Amino acid sequence: MAKLTDRQIAHLIRKYLDVERLLAEHPELTQAELAAFWVRHALNDLRPSSPDRTGDLFAGEGPAPAAAAGGGKSLVARCDGASRGNPGPAAIGVVLLDPGGTPVRRLGERVGTTTNNVAEYQAVVRAAQEALRLGASRLTLLLDSELLVFQLRGVYKVKAPHLKPYHERALALLGQLERWEVRHVPREQNAAADQLANEALDSGSFAEG
């Protein structure tokens, strides 16, 4: 069976806007291939509730990044969560930056005893809350957790019951923005957020900015 091109995948996404139905009706497209497509093109989530967000895929080089589209305030959030014990004492770290890369908000917070994945989700929730509080209309999330990136994009289902409330809360907050996207970055690029989470674990919660 011939492998689908990126243009063909983009056409199917525009047609279905439903990952499960798309994969069920097109067995020639695997979940792994779809996940790789999202990574190659840094696409936003394509949920059935947000058909306008697909735009015209590949009309040019793909959707404009959140920090460059339209008017209003754009922010970038580097997020990380840390759990010592998994589950164990956990904390989050968030660095919000303006489009030029200047930090506008840094925070580290303890989030009780939980797992790494829950802490990662709580970091996304806090980033969205702070972005909205600061009046942002667009937000780019940079995470080093591939699981969260693909779950937030709708590529992976959220199967773990304990993660579903955090996933829903994150999407509800992000849905209040005009536009948002989530990208995977190497762990070393999120060192500042990781440091904030670990500092919060060591010395307590704090915020700057």
From CA 207, how far away is CA 96, in angstroms rounded? 11
Q: Which secondary-structure segment (H or E) carries 184? A: strand 179-184
What's the pLDDT tens digit per position in 151-163? Answer: 999 999 999 999 9
Token pair listed for 131:
């972005």
Kindly report the pTM of this predicted structure: 0.69
Asked whether 86 and 145 are in contact (CB, 8 A), the reply is no
What's the pLDDT tens digit per position in 100-152? Answer: 999 999 999 999 999 999 999 999 999 999 999 999 999 999 999 999 999 99
Distance of CA 190 to the CA centre of its chain: 13
3-state helix, strand, coil in the chain (%, to 5): 45, 25, 35
Token pair listed for 17:
């806007």
Token pair listed for 117:
């994945």
